[in-house]
Amino acid sequence: MAGFRDEDKRHFPLQDIKSVVELFRSQLSCSVEPNLALLSVTLGYIENVLTNNRALNKVDSGANLEPIFPVVELAPVEALYHKFVCQIKGSVDLSLFTHGVATRDLVKKVSDVIWSSLSRSYHTDRAHLQSLYSYLTGNRLDCFGVAFAVVAACQVLGYKDVHLALSEDHAWVTFGDKGAETAEVTWHGKGNEDKRGQPISVGVAEKSWLYLYGFPVQCTRSMEVAAMVSAINPSIDSHTDSIEMASLQQELLWLLYEMGHLRKYPMALGNLADLEEIDPTPDKPPPIQLFHEGIHAGKVYYNNQHVYPYTYLGGHYYRRGQFKDALHCWAQAANVIRSYNYNREDEEIYKEFLEIAHELIPNMLKSVSLSTLQSPALSPASSTDDSSEKSNGRSTPVAVPLSPLLNDPECFAYLLQLYDGICQWEEGSSTPVLHIGWAKHIVQSINSFSPQVRSKLNILLIGDQGEVLKDEEEEEEEGEKDKDKEESKTEEKEEPKKGRGRGSKGSRAIAKGKGEKN
């Protein structure tokens, strides 16, 4: 595995975002596959400079604040790369392994080399532990970083078949003919024994969300570049992001998008959409389209088993106050999770649904009730009709109409679908999902809707092909109803509108640590 080629070297020293984008473009365009170790060291180096709040990233030259994008010389990057190559080639005696495709022993050996060189004890859920720069300068990696390092190391050893496999909260590798073999190479979560070296099959069989029913993102080399770019963490501290680092991530994601490398990567599309929501790039597709592409990819390539594509867009709608669309998205997210059994290692998605049910929906219901109370028609000063004053000298309470949302049977139906999906998720699971706190929120949310809406609910059965299933008795009943009542029935739409999103937070770091490294 050679280092930088001449056409890569000419981009150095990197002076600005554009030069980094051009380096990635040349690495992604040429016939030889992109060099994961070189690119990861480069990104980690820049992230380290831009997010270390040791030195402020700006020099206050009076008039304007000059952001300092680091000048990245070729020498330090290549030195770190060669350190990685020497360590990996020095630890793996290739004469013991067949050429051609990798074996389970080889993958386990490489995972052991990375694992044993990590420092004994560090907080693995800290930021900036995802790149080979962190590994080579600090011997520290988070769980995603270990899996990525194993793939980068196998690339250095010349194995083109070892690739990164990504679920929504875990990473492992595929290898062998047609990438048919799988192996754990890193840990997951807190307090779980790592299963390094084992195939993934058990996890899939347990129907746990963590393994996505056998529909993980299977990366190509270019998608592994997309994963390292998605893993960029621009945060300087819990309140501040480096604008330059976020902008570099955004421009690299656009490069990968335009080259077609995000087509099968819903979370990277969601990451880019989140960044675009914060700081839109002129003449680019809007966030809403990117979120939709993520959901479409989930349906086309992953049997619609991914949840995040839906919670990404629901959160986007929520932040824009489009609450009905948000509810619809979260109902569809629950429609995905219902097919899984809850497992102790599925905590991340549990927290996602908990935030939706216990924070976002209560906030939403509160805000629509408040806005109704404050609506001009109701405030006494502006009210034209003061009949209540005249009639009895005392103001009689004006009946407060419920907001359209709370009078909308479709919204009520979405709320029920959300909770029904979570309940079905729990059914047949080894670990309970719901507790009394959930019941409190379910009752509170349902009670927020008007009694009329709750009586109007008419649940139509939709078959797997999207056809409406109705039995005769219901047909007759329906006939009766139609005759004497024009009210619209709530119907479950055949093809529910796409889209979901995350809660109120912006984009989130790619990996969750596990607390103390044991």
Ligand X SMILES: FC(F)c1nnc(N2CCN(c3ncnc4sc(CC(F)(F)F)cc34)CC2)s1
Binding site for ligand X (CB under 6 A): 143-144, 166, 169-171, 227, 230, 267-268, 270-271, 308, 311-312, 315, 352, 502, 507-508, 510-511
Distance from the Cα of residue 63 to its chain's centroid: 40
The residue (of 332 and 403) whose beta carbon lies closer to ligand X is 332
d(CA 317, CA 370): 19
Shorter beta-carbon distance to ligand X: residue 11 or 500: 500
Closest approach of ligand X to the CB of residue 68, in Å: 27
Query: How far apart are alpha carbons 426 and 343 in whole angstroms?
Result: 9
Please state the closest distance from residue 459 (CB atom) to ligand X, in A. Answer: 27
Residue placing its CB nearer to ligand X in the complex, 152 or 166: 166
The smaller minimum CB distance to ligand X, of residues 76 and 286, is found at 286
472 contact partners, CB below 8 Å, separation of at least 6: none
Residue with smallest beta-carbon separation from ligand X: 502
Q: What minimum distance in Å lies between the beta carbon of 314 and ligand X?
A: 8
CB of 170 closer than 8 Å to CB of 78:
no
The reply to whether omega before 451 is within 30° of 0 (cis) is no
Closer by beta carbon to ligand X, 314 or else 409: 314
Contact indicator for 108, 114 with CB cutoff of 8 Å: no
Instruction: Output the smallest distance, CB 490 to ligand X, in A.
Output: 27
Mapped onto helix, strand or coil, the DSSP state of residue 347 is helix
Q: Cβ(222)–Cβ(261) under 8 Å?
A: yes
| Shortest distance, position 253 Cβ to ligand X, whole Å | 10
- 430-434: long-range contacts, CB 8 A cutoff, minimum separation 24: 430/341, 430/342, 430/343, 430/344, 431/342, 431/343, 431/344, 432/342, 433/342, 433/350
Q: What count of other Cβ atoms lies within 10 Å of the Cβ of residue 449?
A: 21
Nearer to ligand X, 266 or 409 (CB): 266
User: CA-based Rg of the chain, rounded to a whole angstrom?
Assistant: 27
- Shortest gap between Cβ of 371 and ligand X (angstroms)? 26
> What is the rounded distance in angstroms from the CA atom of residue 510 to the CA atom of residue 294?
16
Minimum CB–partner distance for residue 402 and ligand X (Å): 29
Residue closer to ligand X by CB (options 4, 257) is: 257
Residue 441 burial by Cβ neighbours in a 10 Å radius (0-12, 13-18, 19+): middle
Minimum CB distance to ligand X, residue 518 (Å)? 19
Q: Would you say 449 and 412 are in contact if contact means Cβ atoms under 8 Å apart?
A: yes
Residue 275 CB-density burial (10 A; 0-12 exposed, 13-18 middle, 19+ buried) = buried
Question: In terms of CB distance, is 14 or 256 closer to ligand X?
Answer: 256
CB of 85 vs ligand X, minimal distance in Å: 24
Minimum CB distance to ligand X smaller for 254 or for 412: 254
**Contacts of residue 369, Cβ cutoff 8 Å, sequence gap at least 6:** 402, 403, 406, 448
3-state secondary structure of 52: coil
- Run of H or E including 228: helix 221-230
Quick check: 504 and 318 in contact, CB under 8 A?
A: yes
Q: Which is nearer to ligand X, 144 or 175 (CB)?
A: 144
Contact at 8 Å (CB) between 34 and 164?
no
Shortest Cβ distance from residue 231 to ligand X (Å)? 7
> Which has the closest alpha carbon to 412: 458, 368, 360, 350?
458
Measured from the CB of residue 160, what is the shortest distance to ligand X in angstroms? 21
Residue 220's CB is within 10 A of a number of other CB atoms, namely: 14
**Shortest Cβ distance from residue 169 to ligand X (Å)?**
5
Q: Which amino acid is at 112?
A: D
Judged by beta carbon, residue 222 or residue 403, the one nearer ligand X is 222
- Residue 107: phi, psi to the nearest 5? -60, -40
Query: Whose Cβ is closer to ligand X: residue 11's or residue 498's?
Result: 498
Residue whose CB is less far from ligand X, 14 or 212: 212
State the nearest-atom distance from the C-beta of 149 to ligand X, in Å: 12
Compute how many other C-beta atoms are within 10 angstroms of the C-beta atom of residue 381: 5
